[in-house]
Amino acid sequence: MYHYTSISTLLNILNKIKHKPETNAYGDVIEFYFLKFHASHAMFLNDPTENKFYIETLLEVFDNSSVLKSVITTSKMLIGAPYVLSFSELEDDLNMWVKYADNAQGVTLGFELNEKIIEEANIKLSKFSVIQTLKCEYPTKDKLIETIIKEDYQKIKNDLDNVKDNSCRSDNIVRTILCNSLKYKDIAYESEVEKRIAIFANLDSDFKSRKNEIVNYKEVKIPLSALKQIIFAPLTDFNKLEYSVTKLISMKTNSTYKGHIKISKSNIPYSS
């Protein structure tokens, strides 16, 4: 899973490398260090159809059911708002460099991650939230309708019938809908081959500025040991960056960094 970003964001992430506070967390073991990332509220993701594509198609399949509309509108508070960390399966991709790594002047971080790793690194967060890993799919609307009818329709219909009878809470429906609204994206974004870590949480969150926005986010810890690659973009000065990043990680980990992270430069020939 690759996270494309700018050099300034990389510096901010590495500067905030922290050591776990447990008394048995020895400073010379790399597994006891972690990185801090910001999972943005789904409202602030880059696709303007985010959350709408699946939900609007679902409502169409259910003939704009008023019960389903009410569940979607009023019940998100039951499981918390979705916060998202975005990654790509693409290791060295020009489109990703240009769009998400400062116009090919940034970096991508390669991780080995799953829900268990995130949960174990975020004990407090995982106690009050649901953490899920999602692989995005990019169907046409007609294909999405087929998928909903085949995979979701009967389950959601049964849950809706129970809601009508007041025999169950609507969290199951909401979680299914919210996960799928993050999973299914417009086909225009297919080239990104995106994977996501979604955190459904009601805990207090933070805010940061980004261009002309004030973004709602949650801080998520990722173990430094899960970071396997740092790849610098085509338009970067690799020798200087490799030196600085290696030095900084060693300093932040009390020289316990033994080069378990592969540091390299993009193989793509590109000039601005």
pLDDT (tens digit, 9 = 90+) per residue, 74-100?
Answer: 665 556 678 999 999 999 999 999 999
- The reported pTM is 0.88
Q: Is the pLDDT of residue 71 over 90?
A: no
pLDDT of residue 80: 66
Residue 119 sits at the vertex; the CA angle it makes with 118 and 125, to the nearest 5 degrees, is 110
CA 147 to CA 142: how far, in whole Å? 9
CA 248 to CA 245: how far, in whole Å? 5
**Domains held by the chain: number:** 1
Q: Is residue 254 part of a domain?
A: yes
Q: Is residue 175 part of a domain?
A: yes
Contacts of 260 (CB under 8 A, 6+ apart): 30, 225, 228
Lowest-pLDDT range of 9-13, 46-50, 249-253? 46-50
CA 160 to CA 224: how far, in whole Å? 43
Q: Is residue 168 part of a domain?
A: yes
Q: Is residue 271 part of a domain?
A: no
Q: Is the pLDDT of residue 126 over 80?
A: no
* Mean pLDDT across 27-53: 82
pLDDT of residue 170: 65
Q: Is residue 115 part of a domain?
A: yes
Q: Is the pLDDT of residue 168 over 60?
A: no
Q: Is residue 240 part of a domain?
A: yes
Task: Specify whether the CB–CB gap between 54 and 186 falls below 8 A.
Answer: no
Q: Is the pLDDT of residue 257 over 90?
A: no
User: For residues 115 and 102, which has the higher predicted lDDT (pLDDT)?
Assistant: 102
Query: Which one-letter amino acid corresponds to residue 165?
Result: D
Lowest-pLDDT range of 27-41, 158-172, 248-262? 158-172
Q: Is residue 272 part of a domain?
A: no
Task: Specify whether the CB–CB gap between 262 and 228 falls below 8 A.
Answer: yes
Sole residue written with tokens 């407090």: 124
Q: Is residue 170 part of a domain?
A: yes
User: 132-136, 160-164, 249-253 — which one is most confidently predicted on average?
Assistant: 132-136
pLDDT of residue 138: 95
Residues in the chain: 272
User: 49-53, 196-200, 233-237 — which one is most confidently predicted on average?
Assistant: 233-237
To the nearest whole number, what is the mean pLDDT of the chain?
A: 86
Which residues constitute the domain of residue 33?
2-265
pLDDT of residue 251: 87
pLDDT of residue 165: 63
Q: Is the pLDDT of residue 25 over 60?
A: no
